[in-house]
Structure 1
């Protein structure tokens, strides 16, 4: 079998090169090897594809190419053995359907005003003129929204503990490559909570126990008025007609919370960086937002064309995940002229697809207008992955992103505190801003400023 070309560098060393500067690494690989590349992990070929036609084949060919849950085993430590990433076939399809109910239609719309109010409340706590790091502030908002949407909690001791545990687990996952090597080394020594791995296990046990307790108590309440994911799962039946176990419900809650809090928080933080780096983008957005008047309806906000274009451009340059979840070749298949045999792993390279010159001219340039001039297929723009493993909260993430950005921009005068470009820092699936986007609030936007176009016409 002749595999697509690729580097001969050891897999572990490629991993370090990637984590130290992911975008430069991927750009260099694409420039040298093109849009289909093989990386060898021991004897297993992993083929990365950044060609839309090849990605379409990965997503739509469900006969020879299978999205096995076992391929996501490395995430099971965080998401649980019965999380949606680890499931297959009819079970996976059934659980996805259950989870997605809360992220669509009237339910999603109903929480729009709450997202705007929460954002205003959290931003009002920042001191005027005092620099702050935007990322943890935004993450606090998105985790609060996510935990309420998924579990129905928005305050109290248990809510605070769950939010803090999620944040702590993410913080450990965002260690530098060198710190990860040190942590892995000392993780072999059993020092309990005093060793890095032991402390990580402690955090995981605490989180899983808190979530399980919440599931058990809510099942006893039998309150049918809740509209969160936990309530849906407690009332649901599996593919055989049986209720889900408490452990199954617990594991299914984790991925949606991580997605709502981490992925959305990262995208919004990047948006604040770009919008405040480019004066013309900010001015166009404010003009569009001001056209809605004071206290606009959230559903009017999410339909704004330029705001939508800005969000798409953010997700193009910094997709919420750099790669699709892996698929396994189970029967010999031909993709892009290569005959791939069983055992080959296929991964869509989202970042490099979004950087293609033939799709996005001058791809390093932040240009929202490209999304007003052309529509892109789900194989050309795929920030949330695609196929049977597409992110269940993709629509909600964009909905939340628009409302949080609109609330911040409409009400506050912000500025970046550094002229240095923000660098990406890779962690797990996501590239977050390395410095967290350092900003300062100069004050609230005055209504007079919103009326400037009208005032200028009068005079």
Structure 2
């Protein structure tokens, strides 16, 4: 049975295009096939389909274990980083239990307790930047996100282990910083240890050092438990599933690596895009600051988190520049119908978040940055889906959105920045995500006085 709307380019060239220029690859394909197309971008030998029609994606993502399953093994591209025993790479009943075990760590009062932490870290990192000297916004946002992860997830605030993890995680994150370096994840034959100076050899040695630090931390926590700790590692170590089972050291390590790299990398990129759009379109930044100034001296992080224009702005940032391009894959269990096409069993199906967010019928003038879209209309979870959907929806979504709003709100309310040049940023592959190609080069001009801003607004 032939798959619908196949891309004619030879398979190996498709894989190269997908790694080197994923945005161009997707946009070329959707120009010919607006809702669904089949492609050859993986080495699995199975047919692959991209779908970007919201109702079809909803059908696919909400029929797990019936017509479709969500096999963790097809997320193995991330295994070299996060291992084989995290919620991303396991499946079936194990995945359901693990998700139930982890979810409480990202909701309720615990989220609010992280708010002051996020604000304090943001101030510390921005205050350390020199005035009137170029800096990369993405690097600064990665430092903020890194410290948030180390403190909220690990409960590490200072000390040698904290500094080592911070250094090694930053170095490992930058290994896959561009399409060429990312190719090591997509072409397994490149994953050769040719010594400590070779790209893969360097990665393996960094990973080994990180593992030693993580396992040492886990061992010490098991030896000297502290019930008063509220960091996510402590919560995971004390959590039991419905059968009374806790997580093994290996499972804890893999979950921590998933949180470290799926968490801090993606959030840093989203916040960098936010700084870009708030300064590339000055009128948007002005609206944000006016809303922030109206908060006055309120120190309640939840007041900041709930601001409507800030929320709409963050949503539009994630719409026009989604960090992830596609959902985690589904595998058909039988012949299914998608948009009138018969799809055979054993076909891999992806919902394409990037292309959903570029649909003209959902988002008129989709290439135009317009936060008002999210003030004027409520989008379904399959029309706006920067965190995926279904049973594999990003487990850290709540923390990511919380951090993004608080960091951007704090910076825009209290600091004056500008873009170093006026050239538009474009998205480029960074590992399995999309990030600003140039990193968003900016200048910190100085601190901003809310009182002066409010006075100027009254007198204008």
TM-score range, shorter chain: over 0.9
1:440 — aligned with what? 443
Seen in structure 2, the aligned counterparts of structure 1 residues 190 and 95 have a Cα distance that, compared at 3 Å, is closer
Looking at structure 2, the residues matched to 80 and 14 of structure 1 have their Cα atoms a distance apart, in angstroms, of 27
Residue correspondence of structure 1 range 246-395 to structure 2 within 5 A: 246-395=249-398
SS in 1 for 2:129: coil
**1:117 alignment counterpart:** 120
- Indicate if the aligned counterparts of 1:7 and 1:39 stay in contact, CA closer than 8 A: yes
SS at match of 1:413: strand
Counterparts of 1:138-149 in structure 2 under 5 Å? 138-149=141-152
1:209, CA displacement in angstroms? 1.7
Aligned with 1:358: secondary structure? coil
TM-score between the two structures when normalised by the length of structure 1: 0.95
Unaligned runs of 5+ residues in structure 2 are none
Over residues 8-29 of structure 1, what are the superposed CA-to-partner deviations in whole Å (9 max), with x where a residue is unaligned?
2123322322333332321111
Secondary structure in 2 aligned to 1:18? Answer: helix
Aligned residue in 2 for 1:93: 96
CA distance in 1, matches of 2:171, 2:381: 34
Secondary structure in 2 matching 1:204: helix
Give 1:380-459 correspondences, 5 Å limit. 380-446=383-449, 447-456=451-460
Q: Distance in 2 between matches of 1:175 and 1:124?
A: 29
Q: 1:181 to 1:308 in 2, by over 3 A?
A: closer
Q: Distance in 2 between matches of 1:444 and 1:250?
A: 40
- Assess, with a 3 A threshold, how the Cα gap between structure 1 residues 297 and 345 changes in structure 2: closer, same or farther: same
Task: Out of 318-327 and 82-91, give the one that drifted further.
Answer: 82-91
Shift of the alpha carbon at 1:226? 0.9
Cα deviation, residue 154, structure 1? 2.1
CA contact under 8 A between 1:323 and 1:429: conserved in structure 2? no
The CA deviation at 1:386 is: 0.6
- Aligned-CA RMSD value: 2.0
SS where residue 193 of structure 1 aligns?
A: coil
Distance 2:56 2:177 in 1: 31
> 2:36 corresponds to which residue?
36
Correspondences of 1:129-278 after superposition (within 5 Å): 129-177=132-180, 180=183, 190-278=193-281
| Contact kept in structure 1, 2:152 and 2:232, CA below 8 Å | yes
CA shift, 1:242, in A, is 2.7
Runs of 4+ in 1 over 6 A off after TM superposition: 181-186
Residue 426 of structure 1 aligns to a residue in which SS?
strand
Give the TM-score normalised by the residue count of structure 2. 0.95
Structure 2 vs 1, CA of residues 208 and 189 (structure 1 numbering), >3 Å: closer, same or farther? closer
**Matching residue within 59, 62, 65 for 2:61:** 59
Question: Which deviations, in whole Å up to 9, do the C-alpha atoms of 1:292-339 show, x marking residues without a partner?
Answer: 002531100111110000000000011121100011111221111111
- Mark the CA change 1:56 to 1:281 in structure 2 (over 3 Å): closer, same or farther: same
Q: CA deviation at 1:373?
A: 0.4
SS in 1 for 2:47: strand
Say which is worse superposed, 34-43 or 22-31, in terms of deviation. Answer: 34-43
Distance change in 2, residues 1:79/1:449 (3 Å):
same
Moved more, 33-42 or 112-121: 33-42
SS at match of 2:84: coil
